Structure formats: C-alpha cells, structure tokens
Chain A
Amino acid sequence: MMIPTFFGITLLTFAIGHLAPGDPLLIETDSPLPGSASQETIDRFRQAHGLDLPLYVQYGRWLSKVVRLDFGHSTQDHRPVTEKIAESLPKTLLLSTLALFFAYLVAVPIGVYSAVRKGWLERAVTVALFALYSMPSFWVAVMLLLAFSSGRALDWFPLQGLTSEGFAAMGLAAKLSDLAWHLVLPVFCLSYASLASVSRYMRTGMLEVIRQDYIRTARAKGLSERTVVFRHAFRNSIIPVVTLLGLMLPHLVGGSVIVERIFGIQGMGLLAFDAIFHRDYPMVMGVTTLVALFTMASVLLSDVLYAVVDPRIRVEVAS
C-alpha cells in the first residue's frame, strides 16, 4: 500500500509544480539590463536541467535518481538538495518534537481534568483553550517577542535564532541552557494551538469512557475515584489521542513558515516556502518526498501504537 501511495504523492507534486506557470530564473529584479535573464539563458538553463523534456520523462529521470538517493541540486543556489535539507531538518525536528512533547504533556492532564471535574474552573479552562486555539501564530509570536524580548516590557528571551554568538565554544551545559533559552518562545508558539485541540480530544475520549458500564462496576467495587480515573478510564480514553499523534507527526518535518520566519530559524518550513516561491523544483520535490515518507511512516506508527494501547486491535501481518 505504501509504495503506490508514495508514487501518487510524488507524481502529483511533480505535475502540479511543473505545470504552474513561472520559471526558476524569473526572479524579481529592477535592472532593465536585461531583466532577470534573457530568453536565451532561460532556454539554456531549462535544457541543462532537463526542463524542456516531456513531464513523464522528467519524472522518470527524477525517480531513477531518487532511488539512488540523488535529489539533485537546488536551482536557487545550486547546493545539493540533501545538504540543504540536512541543514534545516535538525532545527525543525528539535523545535517540533519539543513542541509536540510539551503540548501532550500539558494537554493530557487538562483533558482528563476537564472531563472528570465540572464547575466554573472547567468552563474557564474551556474558554481559555478556545481563545488560545483561535489566536493566529504570527500575532502571538510578535506579541511574545514584544512582551518578553524587546526590552520594552521584559527582557527574558532572545529575539532571534537558536543559539547565541560564540555557541561553538561553549561547554555542554552552557550549550544546552543557551539552546533551551532560545527555544522557549518558538516552542510555545508551535505548541499552544495543538495543546488546545489535543486537550479537547482527550476530554471527549475520557467522557465517552467514563460513561461505560465497567467504570460503573469499578466504582461499585469501591475503588477510589483516583484509581477509577487513572487505572481504568485513562488507558481506554487515550486511544483517539494516540491516533492524533500519528496525524501530527508529519508536521514534525514540515516545519512552520511563520514561526521560523519571525524567530529567524532556518528550518524546513522556510526552506519549502522559498523553494516554491522560486520554482525550485528539485528542492520542492526533496521536501515533499521527505514529508511523504514521514507521513506514511507515522500512519504505520499510529497503527502499531493502536495495537499497543488497545489489545483488541491486532496488526495482521498479512496486510
């Protein structure tokens, strides 16, 4: 199942990318001499990169290189696609893994709490989460910088990047703390929205389970509420949240254009955005392939996780 999916994704991206009007060499320039590139140069460039061939031939060529792990060179700066991805991927992975981790760390308890407790605090949490979920990240990011980094109000966190000047020369502890110091705001920006949604999923899952007969039985046995909730209900209610985790994993490598741009972090989001904007076909395909592989891996992973958290579901080897 995965191999045809992979072909489908890459073929579609390839076709859409190449059929969109524009050309890698048509970049904005305000010099009248001779615009960004003469037609002769564009033709020569297209020829050199095989862009003048029929699409299916181009796709075939691309595919035959990819199986040999050759993703080609970026048309923007002519560096190998793999080198550029290798430069951006760790930053994005670091950011989004932490963001996901913190989102779950906070969201799961909130979800459980708001399912089992009723009252004004629960309603307040609901409203607060919805408010958080509705706030656009570009605005939140700029506001956070103004509040915590500009020195106008507080001066706690750095404005830009992941590391300080002289990072390479620091000891391990200093490096870690420097990194953590830089990560606080961007990680928050990346995690608050999923925090809100995950906690709602958790709450729904919990509510469904808590109405079940076996919970009533557990209570009737005289078990403490604590044991009932955490021992019996929680395990069963976590299933939808685990599925959600599978769906969120692709974002780990996709990155975020907005957060990366505002915090000045050269990650996968910006890489993909610039590539599309510049019609950098090899780069676009490189990022797409990576994300596609990751998506498929995460679908597989969530299936496996299902089996782990829910013994009723079994992975059939035959499929």
Chain B
Amino acid sequence: MRAAIAACGALLVLAACKKEKKPAPPAPAAVVPAETWKRGELPLEVQLGAPVNGGAFTVRIWSEPAGLNRLHDQMAEGWMIKYLTGNVYEALAELDRDTHPAYELRPLLAEGWTESPDHKVLTVRLRKGVKFHNGEPFTSKDVKAVLEAVLDLQNLTTNLRSYFTDLESYEAPDDYTFVVRWKKPYFLANRNFLTSMAVMPASALEGDFNTLPVNRSPIGTGPFRFVSWETGKAITFDRNDSYWGKRPHLDRLVVRIVKDHTVATQLWERGEFDLMTLIQPAVWKSIESGDAKNAWAVEGYHRIYFLENIYFWIGWNEERPFFKDRRVREALARLYPTESVRDNIDLGLELPTTCPYYRESDSCDSTVERLPYDRAGAKRLLAEAGWKDTNGDGVLDKEGVPFKFTFLNNPYSVRMGKLVPLLQEEFRKVGIEMDIEKAETPVYIARMRAHDFDAASMGWSSLDPQQDNFQIFHSSQSKGGSNYVSYAEPEVDRLLEEIRVEFDRKKRNALERRLHRRLYEDQVYLFMTNRPYLDAVKKHVRGIKPSLAWYDLRKTWIQPSK
C-alpha cells in the first residue's frame, strides 16, 4: 500500500513537471477583423504564390466513421467521403470544381468516354499506368469487381445500387475499356456511374463485404494513401508517391476526431488544426467582436463561409385532413417568423430559400419570392379553407374536427429544438394547437418512412448539384420513396418525368425552374433555409478553396514561415 502511494506520488510529480510553462504571450491589442474575414471569404493571396512541397495538414472531424469503404452504406455518408475517403479513392470522373456552380465532369481514372446517341450505351476508356496503393495495376477488371460488389444484393450498398435499377448489362471487352448499357435513357445515369464508383482493387473485394480489410484500411488510387486509424483519435494519410497525376504538395494528412464542440474550439484556439470544421454558429459570431481575446482567430485564421447544397424543410403530411388544402399550407408558411428565426436562431448565418435545388445553380428560379411573415393573411387563408372557431373554444375547427396536430421533432436537432416552440406560439395565436413530440433518430426516421406523423422536419442534401427530385416529389414515391408527405400533383409528376429524359442542360434547367416555382406555390414543404459550412483555415495554408466537392487537397500547400 505504502509503495503504491509512493509510486503514485512520483507519477504526480512527473506529471506536474512534464510540461514547462510557455512564456506568457504579450497581451494582444484589440483586433478588428476585415470585412472579407467577417463574410468568410478567402482573400486572393491564398491562391497566389509558388507551391511549396512538404508539411502535414491537420483537419478536425466530429464523429468516428463506421469504416472507410466508400461503397458501403454505413461508411459513405457525405462527411466521410469528403474528409476521409475522398482523398484515397478515385472514381472514373470527378466533379470539376472550376466549373462551379454547374460542376461539369472531369475525367479521373477514365481518359474519356463516349455516349451513344440514345444515351443508353456508355463506353469508358480507362487510364493506363495507374497503380493502386498496394502496387497492383488498375484495369477494367477492378471496375467490374466494384460494380459487381455494388450490385450484389447481399451487400449493404443500397445507396449506390439505386443508381443501377435500369442497368441492362455491362462488360469489360479489354483491360482498358468498360461498357455500360441502360434499359432506358436517364439524364444522370452515366454521371452517377462515372462519379460514384470508388475504385478499389478487385482482390480487395473478395470475402464478406462487412468485414473486408479495406473497411478499416482502404486501398485506392488517390493522391493520399491510408496510414493508420487510432479509434477515437485520428486517421492519418500520407502522400501517394506513385500517384498517376500531379504530385500533391502535402506530405501528410491528419484527420483528428474531436467529438465535443467546446473542446474542439479550445484545440482550434491553440492552433492545433490547419482546417477547423463545423464551427458552431455562436462561436462563429463571438469571435468577430474585435476583442483582444479573439486575436488568435482574426490573426491566425481565415474564415470560410460556403453554402452547402442542403435545404431544410418542414413537411405537412397530406394524408391528414388539415394539410391536404394548399391554402392551409400557405397559411402555415405565412406564420413562419422568418426574421425572428434568422436573428435569434440562425444568427444570420443560414439563408432562407424557396428552392429544392442548389441555390446558385440554374435550376432555381431566382424570381420566386418568399412568402412574407403575415398573420392576417394566414388567418384569411385559413378561413377561406373553412377553418373557423365555430364553438368558441379558441381552436379552429372544420366539420367538427379541431385543428390540432403533433409536430414530430428530432431531439438531436438543436435548431429545431428552438424553432418548433416558436412556431407553436405563432400557431396558437391564430387558433391552431400544435403539440410537440420528440423521437430519437432511428424512431424518427422509421416514422417518417411509415408516413406516421402530422408534421416533421428534415434536410435534403446532395453532393452533386445536378440532382433529380423524382424520389422526393413524384406521386409514385409516396410508397417506398422519399415523398414522405404524400404530395401528388399531375403537373409536377409530368415535369419530373420530362426532366429525367432531357439531356440538354439548358432545356432541363428551364424545366427545373418551372418545377421550383410550382412546388413553392404549392407549398409542398415549408421551405426553410440553406446551411453554410462554417470552417476556418490557418493563414499559412495556400491553394485551398471551398466547393461543393469539398476542398481539393491535391492543390493545397503550406507556406513555410519566414
């Protein structure tokens, strides 16, 4: 016992003297951030200068990935692809970040491709001389193996498999050619195929898909190769010395897992991240005050504000008697206190939207105007729809049914946790009684799918801004699809069907703009906001630029201090 105490005492002493105190830094003077810094725009200098090779780049992520196999449903959420596997695996083509906001295709593991005039046959010429991180050469048999893994019904690859419901056949006539045939033309079929097949060696896909070694240590052809994964701590990648493309400048990429936002902010303040991600809105606002205590952020980092391709909505289940009527949905939208939400909940960071597409793309009709916050108008619309307080109990009713419903809320959404009570109060003022029910995520999603809710909220996002809304709004998708609100409108169905087979982008965009207008007029959802990335990058980082396809770390370098 005594020995143990002595040993611990020694440990404590060691611990205390382990770290010499740093000399106290001189008290910084007040630092007023520049307007561009406040807006989260990267200054031009970041893109200038001659790249320097070397150095490690540290990124913060907020969750542990389930694995690093980009084909696996559980391992291919957007953030996992962006931050982790996006640098390891390559597909046949990538979204060209230089063509924002259209994001045309740029060949990657393909040298090029040809489409038959009827768009039903895609012939891809593969790049020669590419090697996987394990030294194996890349050929068409790898593409074939990947496609077969995706198509295998035993595998958890549903997300990718949904791209291939109309696949007729595929073949690899020689080592560097791959041909895909579709049963019918679809404007995204080839694009999805080219950009989403993360290519890995055929040999790595042998065995039980759930426990493949590549799930933990991925093998691709990308600019960075996997090195190590310490659970709960960090995942490390090194530059791929035998990369087929231009040599990346960074030597090492360290992705650190820091789940707690408060702790991540403190680590960031100590300068431990080259790229800080998912900055909390309150922190984002507090560091722009110009106080001396925020000098570390203003002087040490560039802030990055970039709108994601995501929109949040509130859905009214049209199987319920209240919400079938378009006028009721419009009335509810007029009760959404846009300004109050923007100032008090979103801190001016999220942008109100009306559009189910990427807001900067040509798919949105910029002339659609958002409904104002207007209680009188809402009351009038409700009355027109037949909702009146006939029995004087303070609650609107129609044909004996009181206007009472329940909002199903996911308790893990901080934003909705604040917003829904606000709506409840607004609704109460016009005589609508709304209860709030909380359900944790697995239950929440199960109930959305079963259409077992009155009102609920979600966000839809897509990595690719060229997207198809068929899954969400077509009447056929009420069953098994993502049309959780059971919206059914013949004209919208027609537009969605036309869009799917329109290969001319200009013409398709025109149809999409018509769809956007119609969906907003119909108030299929209460459209809320687009969310930005709130990131910050150390000032010594150069050649970095936000895009929907995330940062292109092949071009990023670290400017050594003089």
Contact residues of A with B, CB < 8 Å? 21-41, 44-45, 48, 73, 76-79, 87, 101-102, 105, 142, 145-146, 149-152, 154-157, 159-161, 173, 176-178, 180-181, 183-184, 261-266, 270, 277-279
Are the C-beta atoms of A34 and B159 separated by less than 8 Å?
A: yes
Are the C-beta atoms of A180 and B446 separated by less than 8 Å?
A: no
Nearest-neighbor residue (CB-CB) of A265 within chain B: B232
Bound CA span A172–B512, Å: 65
- Interfacial chain A residues near B293, Cβ < 8 Å: 152
Contact residues of B with A, CB < 8 Å? 4-5, 8, 11-12, 14-16, 18-19, 21-22, 64, 66-67, 73-75, 77-78, 153-154, 156, 158-159, 162, 210-211, 215-216, 231-233, 257-260, 262-263, 266-267, 269-270, 293, 310, 410, 412, 440-443, 445-446, 449, 458-462, 469, 471-472, 480-482
- Interfacial chain A residues near B232, Cβ < 8 Å: 264-266, 270
Are the C-beta atoms of B266 and A180 separated by less than 8 Å?
A: no
Most chain-B Cβ atoms within 10 A of its Cβ — which of A33, A157, A262?
A33
Are the C-beta atoms of B78 and A177 separated by less than 8 Å?
A: no
- Interfacial chain B residues near A145, Cβ < 8 Å: 262-263, 266
- Interfacial chain A residues near B21, Cβ < 8 Å: 154-156
Q: B442's contact among A21, A78, A79, by CB below 8 Å, is which?
A: A21
Can you sample 21 A-B contacts with CB below 8 Å?
A: A22-B440, A23-B446, A26-B441, A28-B441, A32-B462, A33-B162, A35-B482, A36-B445, A38-B480, A39-B449, A76-B74, A152-B293, A154-B21, A155-B22, A156-B19, A159-B267, A177-B14, A180-B15, A266-B231, A266-B233, A278-B442
Are the C-beta atoms of B442 and A279 separated by less than 8 Å?
A: yes
Bound CA span A31–B73, Å: 12
Q: B156's contact among A22, A37, A161, A177, by CB below 8 Å, is which?
A: A37
Are the C-beta atoms of B310 and A37 separated by less than 8 Å?
A: no
Known: A26-B441, A87-B231, A264-B260. A31 touches B159 (CB 8 A): yes
- Interfacial chain B residues near A73, Cβ < 8 Å: 210-211
Are the C-beta atoms of B210 and A27 separated by less than 8 Å?
A: no
Are the C-beta atoms of A33 and B471 separated by less than 8 Å?
A: yes
- Interfacial chain B residues near A40, Cβ < 8 Å: 158
Are the C-beta atoms of B19 and A181 separated by less than 8 Å?
A: yes
Are the C-beta atoms of B258 and A35 separated by less than 8 Å?
A: no
4 new A-B contacts, CB < 8 A, other than A27-B442, A261-B259, are A25-B73, A36-B445, A184-B12, A264-B259
Known: A145-B263, A264-B258. A34 touches B481 (CB 8 A): yes
Are the C-beta atoms of B154 and A142 separated by less than 8 Å?
A: no
- Interfacial chain A residues near B449, Cβ < 8 Å: 35, 39
Bound CA span A73–B156, Å: 15
Q: B77's contact among A24, A29, A102, by CB below 8 Å, is which?
A: A29
Are the C-beta atoms of B66 and A77 separated by less than 8 Å?
A: yes
* Total CB contacts across the A-B interface at under 8 A: 172
Bound CA span A184–B22, Å: 19
Known: A21-B446, A44-B153, A264-B232. A27 touches B74 (CB 8 A): yes
Q: In the complex, how many angstroms separate the beta carbon of A127 from the nearest chain B beta carbon?
A: 27
- Interfacial chain B residues near A173, Cβ < 8 Å: 14
Are the C-beta atoms of B154 and A44 separated by less than 8 Å?
A: yes
Are the C-beta atoms of B5 and A30 separated by less than 8 Å?
A: no
Bound CA span A253–B293, Å: 41
- Interfacial chain A residues near B64, Cβ < 8 Å: 266
Are the C-beta atoms of B480 and A159 separated by less than 8 Å?
A: no
Q: A142's contact among B16, B19, B262, by CB below 8 Å, is which?
A: B262
- Interfacial chain B residues near A105, Cβ < 8 Å: 5
Are the C-beta atoms of B231 and A21 separated by less than 8 Å?
A: no
- Interfacial chain B residues near A31, Cβ < 8 Å: 78, 159, 460-462
Known: A262-B263, A270-B232. A34 touches B158 (CB 8 A): yes
- Interfacial chain A residues near B262, Cβ < 8 Å: 142, 145, 262
Known: A41-B156, A177-B14, A264-B233. A30 touches B461 (CB 8 A): yes
Bound CA span A40–B480, Å: 10
Bound CA span A130–B490, Å: 68
Known: A44-B154, A177-B11. A146 touches B266 (CB 8 A): yes
Bound CA span A146–B481, Å: 48
- Interfacial chain A residues near B15, Cβ < 8 Å: 177, 180-181, 183-184
Q: In the complex, how many angstroms separate the beta carbon of A123 from the nearest chain B beta carbon?
A: 29
- Interfacial chain B residues near A263, Cβ < 8 Å: 263
Q: Which 10 A-B pairs have the closest CB atoms?
A: A266-B232, A22-B442, A177-B14, A78-B210, A180-B15, A180-B11, A26-B442, A41-B158, A181-B18, A30-B461
